[in-house]
Chains A and B, each alone.
Chain A
Amino acid sequence: MTKPWHRSDPAYFEKEKREVEREYPNLRFRLAGELVVLEGDFPLIAEGKVRDRYLVEITMARDHPKPLPVVREVAGRIPRKPERHMNGDGTACVVLPDERWKSWPVGAPLVDFLNGPLRNYFICQSVVESGHPWPMEELGHGAAGIRTSYAELLGTDDINVIRGYLVCLAAKQVKGHWSCPCSSGKRLRDCHLARVLDLRTRIAPADAAKSLRYLRG
């Protein structure tokens, strides 16, 4: 078994730590077994002022940064309801993992996750808490949100085409003789192989596999 990320690449860990602590002095790193936990006070800064704060716990998996960090709001301020994009176990659905490449691609520094998707998520929570609607576009819950996301990405809402692409994205490797997921009847190498390979650079196989399970019900 490989070492967890912070031990396999201590320089990378130190760099992430330094950057986060510089921008977020009230967040502290803590080691919890093989996991790295970032916890404390997450400020929402807008127009030069702190506008709100959330008490958070952000856990990075041993193979960070491949999976998204797991975020919890630990003060119990946000109801654990799908409409608040909060799972029943208290974890936050900051973004659909399959869409992370748009805002926080693999390899981007952790501080970009805090400044981008996480800040957006908590800004939206504060706005909703004050009685306004969610101020950004949001995805539907569960399979519906996944289908919406892939329909936009692929330009079709055909569930069979979406599932076909997900099979290609979830596979360890793709073979040119496979049927193209676009349902043209052609071989992949003669049709959308380039598109599939491009998508595989953005969407992790594990995330695609999970989405496929959702769409298969």
Chain B
Amino acid sequence: MTPNEYLAKVLSAQTLASNSPELKDLQERRTQVEEHLREHFDDSSPTIRYGGDFHIDVVPGRFTDEEEADAFLYISSGEKNRLKTNLDVHVAHVKESGVIDAIRLMKLWKVRNRLSVRNFILELAVIKLLSSKKSATLATQLEHVWTELRDNIDDLAVEDPANPTGNDLSDLLNAAKYELSTAAGSTLDLMASSGWEAVFGSVEQEDRKENIAALRRAAAVATPTRAWCRDA
């Protein structure tokens, strides 16, 4: 299996089938989160919008006006305690980046390495670092991102696409630079010594799950036959 085939399997294993019990569970939890929010913020009637493939990604904020486009996001680190931004612009920026698979894998890498960097900072960093490598393979893209994070992170700067001049994200990025650089260096070392599977883990279990899912789909569309048993 080539590195790109492996990474495609890792990605595939991160995607839930539309009828999977895990997705149903997530949808139920999403409903619970919404009920919880409405119960505790019933005075302000919060606007709750869902977008993208990720069913739970709660971003608490306050719209700046009745247009419900720009919002203040409250943050606990950095010099300011709130950022004025636009979530729709940010989501579109990620979706249209052309490197969505690399972003998804880097977010998985963040979770596996227990990094505290904010997701939107990581997304902006990956998009920036891959701006000249959109047509490279996924493996090349990831290696490039990690190499840049390890070797040149001091040169990295990101801008909020919804508010490029008004928002200074440097505090948020600076707070994460050390952990990003250290983790990227460790990952490159690990990959050099033990290969890609050491980074994201074995996909064998995921293979089995995928195969069973494919067989269940095949059973659903096959001309049915009914098994019997001679022995009662």
Q: Which residues of A contact B (CB under 8 A)?
A: 44, 46-47, 49, 51-52, 82-83, 85-88, 91, 93-96, 99, 102-103, 116-117, 119-121, 123-124, 126-127, 130, 132, 134-146, 149
CA distance A91 to B231 in the complex (A): 11
B232 & A142 in contact (Cβ 8 Å cutoff) = yes
Contact A120 B229 (CB under 8 A): no
Segment of B74-82, B180-188, B192-200, B215-223 engaged in the interface with chain A: B215-223
Is B208 on the interface with A (CB-CB < 8 A)? yes
B226 contacts A95, C-beta separation under 8 Å = yes
Q: Does B214 belong to the interface (CB within 8 Å)?
A: yes
Query: A88, B228: Cβ atoms under 8 Å?
Result: no
Contact: B216 with A145, CB < 8 Å? Answer: no
Cα distance A140–B228 in the bound complex, in angstroms: 6
Q: In the assembly, what is the distance between CA of A114 and CA of B219, in Å?
A: 15
CB atoms of A130 and B208 under 8 A apart: yes
B215 and A126 within 8 A (CB)? yes
Residues of A within 8 A of B223 (CB): 103, 116, 120
Q: Which residues of B contact A139 (CB under 8 A)?
A: 226-229
24 A/B residue pairs, CB under 8 Å, sorted by A: A44-B215, A51-B211, A51-B212, A52-B211, A87-B229, A87-B230, A93-B228, A95-B227, A96-B226, A99-B226, A102-B225, A103-B225, A120-B225, A121-B225, A126-B215, A127-B212, A135-B215, A137-B224, A138-B228, A139-B227, A141-B229, A141-B230, A142-B231, A145-B226
In the complex, what's the smallest C-beta–C-beta distance from A124 to chain B, in angstroms? Answer: 7
Known: A87-B229, A123-B218, A141-B228. 14 other contacts (CB 8 A): A44-B218, A46-B215, A47-B214, A93-B227, A116-B223, A120-B222, A120-B223, A130-B212, A134-B227, A138-B226, A138-B227, A141-B232, A143-B232, A145-B226
- Tell me which residues across on chain B come within 8 A of A117, comparing CB atoms: 225
Q: Which residues of chain A come closer than 8 Å to B225, judged between CB atoms?
A: 94-95, 99, 102-103, 116-117, 120-121, 136
Select from chain B the residue with minimum beta-carbon distance to A45.
B218
* A132-B212 CB under 8 A given contacts A47-B218, A94-B227, A95-B227: yes
CA distance in complex: A3, B218 (Å): 40
Q: Which 9 A-B pairs have the closest CB atoms?
A: A142-B232, A85-B227, A46-B218, A135-B219, A51-B211, A96-B228, A82-B229, A141-B229, A139-B228
**Does the CB pair A144–B219 fall under 8 Å?**
no
Residues A87 and B231 in contact, CB atoms below 8 Å apart: yes
Give every chain B residue within 8 A of A136 (Cβ-Cβ): 219, 222, 224-227
Docked CA distance A138–B227 (Å):
5
Question: Which residues from A are CB-within-8-Å of B228?
Answer: 85, 93, 95-96, 99, 138-141, 145-146
**Cβ distance A53 to chain B, nearest Cβ, rounded Å:** 11
B222, B226, B227: the one contacting A119 at CB < 8 Å is B222
Q: Select one of A85, A94, A130, A144 contacting B232, CB under 8 A.
A: A144
A contact residues around B226 at 8 Å (CB): 95-96, 99, 136-139, 145, 149
Please state if B231 and A46 are interface contacts (CB–CB under 8 Å): no
Contact B219 A127, beta carbon cutoff 8 Å:
yes
Rounded to whole Å, the gap between the CB of B20 and the closest CB of chain A is 12
Report the nearest B residue to A49, measured CB to CB.
B214
> Which residues of chain B have C-beta atoms less than 8 A from A130's C-beta?
208, 212
List which B45-104 residues lie within 8 A (CB) of chain A.
none
Q: How far is the CA of A157 from the CA of B151 in the complex (A)?
A: 78
The complex places the Cα of A134 from the Cα of B220 at a distance, in Å, of 11
Among residues of A, the one whose C-beta sits closest to the C-beta of B227 is A85
- Asked if A120 contacts B224 (CB within 8 A), the reply is yes
Of listed B212, B218, B229, residue having the most chain A CB within 10 A: B229
CB distance from B61 to the nearest CB of A (A): 41
Contacting pair A141 B212 (CB below 8 A): no
Beta-carbon contact of B215 and A127 below 8 Å: yes
With contact pairs A46-B215, A51-B215 given, residues A123 and B222 touching in the complex (Cβ less than 8 Å): yes
Alpha-carbon distance A62/B216, docked complex (angstroms): 36
